[in-house]
Structure 1
Amino acid sequence: MRLFVFGLGYTAMAFIRSGLPWTRVAGTVRDAGKAGRLREEGIEALALEEAGDAELAGAIGRADALLVCAPPSEAGDPLLVRFGEAVRRAAGLGWIGYLSTTGVYGDRDGAWTDETTPANPQSPASRHRHDAETAWVALGRETGQAVQVFRLTGIYGPGRNALANLAQGTARRIVKPGQVFNRIHVDDIALTLAASLARPRAGGVYNVTDDEPAPPQDVVTYAAALAGIAPPPEIPFERAHLSPAALAFYAENKRIANGLIKRELGVELRHPTYREGLDALYAAGEFQVA
């Protein structure tokens, strides 16, 4: 199985390292330094600003599966604009996965939200994501390629979690009454992508999330208990001095349902809630005070 990835970042690398029998992995990065480091791992990493379009198109054309992780911009998905023709000509592509966000649903006032819920993106970033979803699915309809959209909740895993934040002194317990978020361990994203790879469905849209939407302060409290330290003090939302991006995040409140990945793809989450995820990370030595 030959994989090409637009955006060899945190989530893509978890998928690549998940144990699937890749015979070749190639993809794009932003800078040549990272490309060199990934080549040492056997990944054919190509720096977008240095590789020629013909070289990149050739790599896409040799792939059996394509994963799109890079974000769009207000001008659309630059990768689709630049390499759409290469994707259309890639006759061997049996699976295309587009990583999106549950932000496309907008604010649901805490209501449960599944894939039948109409998209209602409210932030510019979420509107760009929904536009990109639509464009990739349209390409799939045009070419007959199986394009799947994966709407992710808050991603955590090694190096990116409440334990690591506590160790670095950056964890905050911000309290907004009634606010809940879902999250998803990066290994469970990789598990879901692998399940879809085995069962492609053209035009499929999947929520990729855990079982339990929870207040964000509860996650920090649980992590502190695991680490055997006092949690940071609670901060009322109104006094949290959040960035514009964080304010936009807190402006949306919804409970994301994940039944479709279980029913259709047979996914059994390794970390069904933040508790199992943090337990595993702590057992792996994640909490290390600098």
Structure 2
Amino acid sequence: MQSFGKPRILIIGCGDIGLRVAKQLAKGCRVYALTSQKTRFQELRAVGAIPILGDLDKPDSLWRLSGLAETVIHLAPPQNTGHRDCRTRNLLRILAQGSDTVRRLIYVSTTGVYGDHKGARVSEITPVNPQSERAKRRVDAEDSLRLWAPAHGVVLTILRVPGIYAADRLPVERIQARTPALIAVEDAYSNHIQSDDLARLVCAAVYHGKPQRVINACDGGETKMGDYFDQVADAFGMDRPPRLPGEDLQKIVSPMLWSFMRESRRVTNQRLSELKTPLRYPSVAAFLKTISKNP
């Protein structure tokens, strides 16, 4: 396709973060965005992206992606069941047909691949130890990409991302519902990144990502989950959530929520400096100061 001299970038999985990334990159690049819904075309065009119709669950619908762009930003999550990420495998099969067009691929994974470390620090060299099916699918995606990229001369950057937050992505409803948190002695460390900061890091990886590199895209904070809820409650002038022992809490929350609450790790971010993009919000507390209703 004609690129009019601009670098061509394809975004796979253009949700909230993808839209933020597309808006930034469209200023200097020709940005394509894969979507399975025609109803999203207008929204994608509004941020400067060119919509491409296709569904990662339907490989025959992906033919338009072959040879389309030099850089691919893969933000799509795996399907909801199984231990393999079939969506990533479908994507790689079609990209391999593009006559070596792709030169760089950025994959946004999750820090969930590390599993539970009982509060210990983990870094990019810590072996993965996924304990949920969701995390196992992410490890499968990473493994597939790490095999595929060097075989096709592609520079691969994997960004492992923790809990994403923004003004409209805070646990306000959870706090309003009085959903309990764990008592302090049993509480787990949680890790965070603000959504605009994450979008900026993804864009930075397009230009500064080192070959076959894993980077923890987090703020490096060491806040326990219950304390995080308390910070949000204080910022909005709400009552702090009650606390319960894990034995009692497990009985009243969903299995998925419990799987998040029982894994504890402190994710370090020393490699983040490689992307040459300082965080605007180095902590949740720094962000909450900008929106607090209870100064």
Q: 2:271, 2:194 → 1: CA distance?
A: 17
* One-letter identity of the residue aligned with 2:181: I
Residues 196, 265 of structure 1: 8 Å contact kept: yes
Moved more, 122-131 or 244-253: 244-253
What is the aligned partner in structure 2 of residue 247 from structure 1? 258
- The Cα of 1:64 is off from its aligned counterpart by 2.6
Moved more, 64-73 or 102-111: 64-73
Residues 2, 22 of structure 1: 8 Å contact kept: no
* CA shift in 2, pair 1:178/1:42, >3 Å: closer
* CA shift in 2, pair 1:138/1:171, >3 Å: farther
Residues 25, 203 of structure 2: 8 Å contact kept: no
2:117 matched to 1:108?
A: yes
What is the aligned partner in structure 2 of residue 202 from structure 1? 211
Residues 173, 216 of structure 1: 8 Å contact kept: no
Q: 1:276 aligns with which of 286, 290, 293?
A: 286
Residues 181, 241 of structure 2: 8 Å contact kept: no
1:63-99 CA deviation, whole Å, 9 max, x = no partner? 1321111122426333343332431225443321111
Percent of aligned pairs with the same amino acid = 25
Q: 2:285, 2:213 → 1: CA distance?
A: 29
1:30-69 CA deviation, whole Å, 9 max, x = no partner? 333223433454432234359x968744345221321111
- The Cα of 1:250 is off from its aligned counterpart by 2.0
SS of 1:79's partner is helix
Residues 26, 46 of structure 1: 8 Å contact kept: yes
Q: 1:11, 1:236 → 2: CA distance?
A: 35
- The Cα of 1:165 is off from its aligned counterpart by 5.3
Residues 173, 220 of structure 1: 8 Å contact kept: no
What RMSD, in angstroms, separates the aligned Cα atoms of the two structures? 2.8
What is the aligned partner in structure 1 of residue 85 from structure 2? 77
SS of 1:184's partner is strand
* CA shift in 2, pair 1:245/1:55, >3 Å: closer
What is the aligned partner in structure 2 of residue 260 from structure 1? 271
Q: 1:164, 1:192 → 2: CA distance?
A: 28
SS of 1:18's partner is helix
Q: 1:10 aligns with which of 8, 12, 16?
A: 16
1:215-264 CA deviation, whole Å, 9 max, x = no partner? 122222222222233334334443331111112112211100001112x2
2:135 matched to 1:129?
A: no
* CA shift in 2, pair 1:164/1:185, >3 Å: farther
* One-letter identity of the residue aligned with 2:95: V
Moved more, 237-246 or 52-61: 52-61
SS of 1:148's partner is strand
SS of 1:17's partner is helix
What is the aligned partner in structure 2 of residue 150 from structure 1? 159
What is the aligned partner in structure 1 of residue 94 from structure 2? 86
Q: Which runs of 5+ in 2 are unaligned?
A: 1-6
Residues 146, 201 of structure 1: 8 Å contact kept: yes
SS of 1:159's partner is coil
Residues 157, 211 of structure 2: 8 Å contact kept: yes
Q: 1:115, 1:49 → 2: CA distance?
A: 31
The alignment of Structure 1 onto Structure 2 pairs a total of residues equal to 281
1:190-227 CA deviation, whole Å, 9 max, x = no partner? 12222221123221111111121211222222222222
